[in-house]
Structure 1
Amino acid sequence: MTSKFFQLLRFSIDESQPAPEGITAADWPILFRMAKEQNLQGVIFHGINRLPKECLPEKEMTMRWFALSRQIAKLNTKVNVNAAKVSETFRRKGLRTCLLKGQGNALLYPDPHMRTPGDIDIWAEGGYKKVMKTVGYMAPGCKRCYHHTDFPDYGGTTVELHYRPQFMNNLISNARLQDYFSKNAGKQFANIVQLPDGAGSIAVPTAAFNRIYQMAHISNHFFHEGIGLKQLLDYYYVLRQGFTASEQEADTRTLKRCGLYKMATAVMYVMQKVFCLDDKYLIVKADERLGRFLLNEIMLSGNFGFYDKRIDKYRGSQLKKNIQRLVRDARFMLIFPGESLWEPVFRLYHFFWRMAARY
């Protein structure tokens, strides 16, 4: 069934791919469940719209999927408006911002309304102290961590305010990653785009920045709770924007310097295996062993690990969550030792960081 799902997904994102074969009426409920687990319902329905009549699911299933796709489209419209307004709110406070992932990624899709939207992740310029000194009074009591603070919902959409785009567990790699972010920040806050349907304008990362930042995002979520095909599909569209030979060389150096190279080789395997991405768009050479491991984790855990039955017994208290992370670190240690071994160290560092954090 996984093979049929991948065929349907490829057909949904690439018109040059053949229509999937051998899908029966009994397969569609399973494919629907798999699309839900990977948060790709709107993407898959985009492909269903192109299927020959004889290949379509039964009417009831089609209508159910259609209704869901309309909900996703409406939610995209709402989040676009809210994202533009949040950006304007911070601009009036003297902070330039950049929208991370989310609605910026949606602009790369064939239809920007087919991607299931999530939170508004917005990066504000200036670092932790400046950002929280400027707008910290707007979020009293909100939970803060090393790279972002929760923020009051805006128009019914959850907001995360970032003072750092992402981080690594390895403190050496993390310092290098933060240096990369700092040196390239200016271009991101100046890269203004128009959101669909006249929702407004907002800054989004450049393609070059996204090739590094979104790899760090994939890596971070992989080690902490799980990552799904939705985030890998986002990266597929980032890579499809293309790059020069010199940019590829620079990316490779940065990925190695920031401890992201091994993860990148695994991601490239998924790009080939699942999405049939042309070799010219691969920033590094794919590693089949690491890639198979990553893909297996993706299919077992689903979107951000929400469907990972292996961790059900660890859900609930913070203590259980900490134990689950240690178990996860142990499982990944032989495959990705760097981030796994550093994770307990980073947690200790994070504890003291929160103790020292002000504003």
Structure 2
Amino acid sequence: MGLILKKTDKLLFKLLQLALDTTGALQGLEEAPSEEEWKAIYKLAKRQSVLGVVFNAVKKLPENFRPARALLLRWSMDAEGTAGMNKLLNLEAARLTWVFEGAGRKNAILKGPANARLYPDPLSRQCGDIDIWVEGGRKGVTELLYKLNLLNAENDDHAYSRHHIHLPQNKDGVTVEVHFKPASGIPFRNGALQKFLNEEIRKATLVPEGFYSPSIKFALVMQLAHLQQHFYSGGLGFRQYTDYLMLLRHSTEGDRNAAVDVMKNLSMMRACGAVMWVLQEVFGLERELMLCAPDRKRGERLLKLALAGGNFGQHKEVPKPKNVFARWFKDRLQALSWLTFDPVNAVFKELKYWRATISLIPKRIKRRRIAL
């Protein structure tokens, strides 16, 4: 059975298109949603982490089409909070840029504030953390963070991942990930991906917000690789798809052609076609801006996942089995179900799981603890 969309899903799509339209061609909604529909739209936008963006569409509507006053006021406060947090992130991104610049290290902001500046209203993008790439590799970046007192022995517990280091949250509630690699890996061709990213990120340019932003070509490849990682581990919401839409809207034909040349060599085109379909269905992405032909079958799976789970799959309502072995079996079946979507990525993801699981067996035996 194909994907079945609710009326409120379609209304949210129209509002997103209206909010992100810069041509003035879109005229809004054909009829005013009911009070209950507005409540459902608000809830859905919140789950998808696009409240601030959608509120820009609400402001474009005639007064008799808008939500009731109580919801409108609540939504306005949400949007103001998002705008304020974006300002804090921009200030912190600029401050860190010059801290690392002063230490003689090239750096660039990944995703987050770099994406937000591309939006029609840059302060409407719901904030996450700041991802900043700093040259020097894992060892060099770690030593620099200690030298700058950004990391110390008291707060470096669990700070490391395979490609970045978590800094402690600052007094304003801003969290930062310092990347010694521009992005995590992809199946079997990770060396080629990292080579491209490390060469391209050095072309980052200083933007008016006070930080270095990578090229659109870099962002198109890196962020699709990032999207791929999350397809198989919880899913993605509309915030990440909106980011990718903004990249495409600010790309040149040369950017897109160059990005596709890289993606074709990195087993990314199945995911690319699926994302293009989602962007077409939800945001009305123009055909001339697509990186490849939209893939409806795979795209429907991604959209279904987004609607069910919201931002990074955090709002899934399907309870997990309480029994650890039942949960493990369900997770393995779920992992295998991605074989029809993208066999290369699905096999790679499962191999990584088993490698990590087997490597932990001695520790679990020592602790007398069974876990899967």
Using the size of structure 2 for normalisation, the TM-score is 0.85
Q: Which moved more, 1:329-338 or 1:135-144?
A: 135-144
State the partner residue of 1:192.
Answer: 206
State the partner residue of 1:7.
Answer: 14
State the partner residue of 1:148.
Answer: 164
Task: Find the structure with the greater CA-based Rg.
Answer: 2
Task: Give a deviation string over 1:243-293, Cα, whole Å, max 9, x none.
Answer: 22x543332221121121111101111111111111111111111111111
| Whole-Å separation in 2 of the counterparts to 1:248 and 1:66 | 36
CA contact (8 A) 2:249 2:289 kept: yes
| Whole-Å separation in 2 of the counterparts to 1:320 and 1:212 | 37
SS in structure 2 of the partner of residue 26 of structure 1: helix
CA contact (8 A) 2:237 2:312 kept: yes
Q: How does 1:1-359 map to 2 (within 5 A)?
A: 1-14=8-21, 15-22=24-31, 23-136=33-146, 138-139=151-152, 140-155=156-171, 156-170=173-187, 172-188=188-204, 191-195=205-209, 201-244=210-253, 246-310=254-318, 312-313=319-320, 326-347=332-353
* CA RMSD in angstroms, aligned pairs only: 2.5
Matched letter for residue 159 of structure 1: V
**How far does residue 323 in structure 1 lie from its aligned partner after superposition?**
6.8
Matched letter for residue 30 of structure 1: A
Task: Give a deviation string over 1:329-348, Cα, whole Å, max 9, x none.
Answer: 12312212211111132346
**How far does residue 122 in structure 1 lie from its aligned partner after superposition?**
0.8
SS in structure 2 of the partner of residue 95 of structure 1: coil
SS in structure 2 of the partner of residue 49 of structure 1: helix
CA contact (8 A) 1:43 1:115 kept: yes
SS in structure 1 of the partner of residue 175 of structure 2: strand
CA contact (8 A) 1:93 1:135 kept: no
SS in structure 2 of the partner of residue 94 of structure 1: coil
Using a 3 Å threshold, how does the CA distance of structure 1 residues 68 and 121 change in structure 2: closer, same or farther? same
Q: Which moved more, 1:334-343 or 1:62-71?
A: 334-343
SS in structure 2 of the partner of residue 122 of structure 1: strand
| Whole-Å separation in 1 of the counterparts to 2:89 and 2:107 | 16
SS in structure 1 of the partner of residue 169 of structure 2: strand
Matched letter for residue 121 of structure 1: D
Q: Any unmatched runs of 5+ in structure 1? A: 196-200, 355-359
Using a 3 Å threshold, how does the CA distance of structure 1 residues 336 and 186 change in structure 2: closer, same or farther? same
Using a 3 Å threshold, how does the CA distance of structure 1 residues 243 and 28 change in structure 2: closer, same or farther? same
| Whole-Å separation in 2 of the counterparts to 1:351 and 1:192 | 43
Task: Give a deviation string over 1:48-88, Cα, whole Å, max 9, x none.
Answer: 11101110111111111111111111111111111112222
| Whole-Å separation in 2 of the counterparts to 1:269 and 1:103 | 25
Using a 3 Å threshold, how does the CA distance of structure 1 residues 111 and 133 change in structure 2: closer, same or farther? same
CA contact (8 A) 1:168 1:339 kept: no
CA contact (8 A) 2:218 2:259 kept: no
Matched letter for residue 160 of structure 2: R
SS in structure 1 of the partner of residue 348 of structure 2: helix
Task: Give a deviation string over 1:13-38, Cα, whole Å, max 9, x none.
Answer: 11322312331122011000000010
| Whole-Å separation in 1 of the counterparts to 2:327 and 2:247 | 32
CA contact (8 A) 2:186 2:193 kept: no
| Whole-Å separation in 2 of the counterparts to 1:100 and 1:248 | 19
SS in structure 2 of the partner of residue 157 of structure 1: coil
Q: Any unmatched runs of 5+ in structure 2? A: 1-7, 361-372
| Whole-Å separation in 1 of the counterparts to 2:264 and 2:287 | 20
Using a 3 Å threshold, how does the CA distance of structure 1 residues 324 and 306 change in structure 2: closer, same or farther? farther
SS in structure 2 of the partner of residue 263 of structure 1: helix
Q: Report the count of equivalent residues.
A: 343
Matched letter for residue 264 of structure 1: C
**How far does residue 294 in structure 1 lie from its aligned partner after superposition?**
1.2
Matched letter for residue 241 of structure 1: H
| Whole-Å separation in 2 of the counterparts to 1:255 and 1:353 | 31
**How far does residue 349 in structure 1 lie from its aligned partner after superposition?**
6.0
| Whole-Å separation in 2 of the counterparts to 1:295 and 1:96 | 37
Using a 3 Å threshold, how does the CA distance of structure 1 residues 91 and 327 change in structure 2: closer, same or farther? farther
State the partner residue of 1:198.
Answer: none
Give structure 1 regions of 4+ aligned residues with deviation exceeding 3 angstroms: 246-249, 319-328, 347-354
Using the size of structure 1 for normalisation, the TM-score is 0.88
| Whole-Å separation in 2 of the counterparts to 1:119 and 1:63 | 26
| Whole-Å separation in 1 of the counterparts to 2:330 and 2:99 | 38
| Whole-Å separation in 2 of the counterparts to 1:321 and 1:193 | 47
| Whole-Å separation in 2 of the counterparts to 1:248 and 1:47 | 28
Using a 3 Å threshold, how does the CA distance of structure 1 residues 228 and 25 change in structure 2: closer, same or farther? same
